[in-house]
Structure 1
Amino acid sequence: MKSFKLDAPKSLSQRVLLRLRQAIIDGEFALGAPISEEMVAQSFGVSRTPVREALNQLQGQGLVVIRPQVGSFVFTPSAADISALCSFRIIIEPRAAELAYHHDRAATIAAMEQAVADMKEALAGKDNVAYGRADSALHDAFFAHCNNHYLVESYQLVSGRVAALRTTLSSPIDVRTPASFDEHRRLLRWFERGDLPAFETLLTQHISNSAKTYARALKVE
């Protein structure tokens, strides 16, 4: 198993949680893969207790499924899960973006510009993980600057799963074709111009396309 490096200072269980969460999002653990408490504890150099605590919290975030007497596994979405997840995003992301535009347009644009630049670099290097992280950063910017903690808390319910699906299912396709990158650049352009209706139309289409990509990759249509 790959060795993990922990950053300080945080509580031990929180450090394990953050590193394990990122490992799932970055695809170091495949969707549906088993997660051995013992192996993770050995890799981290900790007891099984903080690992168990971290896995329980990750189950609350929807990234892990714990089956009593069986073990812990990375989540695997069904067709219904994908549909519900993307429908949820279509509802809340445009609203968060609209609020971000009115609350802190400049900072939101700056974050989106950086994300697009990082996507371009990842595209050139065919780096799935870097592309997925940059993709997530662009969408996260709407919530980071929307100034509504209820929207932020709602988004946090699904953000980890969305990020993991990006890295493992859509990013390998995105780094081979300019389609996704072009859509993100157009989202930035509409946002900069303040054409929020056009922005919302494209964002809705973009999320719907993602749902189809996830379903095809998992063969759950």
Structure 2
Amino acid sequence: MLSGSSFRLDTPKSLAIRIAQRLREAITDGQFPLGSMIPEESLATSFGVSRTPVREALGQLQLQGLVVIRPQRGSYVFEPSEDDIAALCEFRCVLEPRAAELSHRNDSEGTVKALRAAIDEMAQARAARDAVRYGRADTALHEAFFTHCGNPYMQGAYATAAAKIAALRIYLSAPTDVLNTAGFEQHSELLALFEAGDFTRFEATMRMHVIGTRDNYTRVLKQRIADAAEAGKSSIGGL
């Protein structure tokens, strides 16, 4: 027989959850550079709280892959490897076309409405040259397939990587995507194929789109590494 205390629940840590949500937004909006240290003490002061809920929030973000906590050193925004980028993009290639097909079956009208709203927002962001706004709209478009697919297990699977995918989009592709037409046109084509219910071509277009994203991420990542190495040489040379 179970004792009365064996299923006792802790009081919900609403403050830590709220801090985690705000930090998640800051990271996925590009307010913290990839690999940068997240200052616990400064954050606690900014939020007007002790460091305890900040640490709890960072622990939650570590589970989402957005934060790396290094004992005795501190907390850092994640920094992807080429292998990590390749794995995430393959995950998307497998999951997104099926989620789109299910959302067409489950709630075609609601999905189309969300896709059109996202594309309209992307167009406005391009006109304003607003990379963060463009990245948010891009994220909203891809997440619409999962929001409307009606399958909680598929939604849960995507949620394990959604924040990281959104952050990579802001950091590594949105600054160039907002200036170029290719990605925007691919999103418009995906909408047209979705409305037509042509999921053979939809899957092929989605795979081409995601593979292009992977290649762009990898190129930008390599350039970041090269720039950092060059900056390090310059710093040493100036000593």
TM-score by length of 2: 0.87
Structural mapping, 1:137-152, within 5 Å: 137-152=140-155
1:103 aligns with 2:110: no
Separation of aligned partners in 2, 1:166 and 1:149: 24
2:202 corresponds in structure 1 to 199
Alignment deviations for residues 55-75 of structure 1 (CA, whole Å, 9 cap, x no partner): 000000000000111110000
Letter in 1 for 2:59: N
1:30 corresponds in structure 2 to 33
Alignment deviations for residues 146-165 of structure 1 (CA, whole Å, 9 cap, x no partner): 11111111001110011001
Cα offset, 1:12, TM superposition: 1.1
Separation of aligned partners in 1, 2:65 and 2:203: 27
- Percent same amino acid among aligned pairs? 54
1:46 corresponds in structure 2 to 49
Cα offset, 1:46, TM superposition: 1.2
Equivalent pairs counted in the alignment come to 211
Separation of aligned partners in 1, 2:196 and 2:96: 18
2:78 corresponds in structure 1 to 75
- Structure 1, gaps ≥5 residues long: 1-9
Cα offset, 1:42, TM superposition: 1.0
Separation of aligned partners in 1, 2:218 and 2:37: 22
2:131 corresponds in structure 1 to 128
1:113 aligns with 2:116: yes
SS at 1:65's partner residue? Answer: strand
Runs of 4+ in 1 over 4 A off after TM superposition: none
2:175 corresponds in structure 1 to 172
Separation of aligned partners in 1, 2:50 and 2:120: 41
Separation of aligned partners in 2, 1:207 and 1:159: 14
- Structure 2, gaps ≥5 residues long: 1-12, 226-239
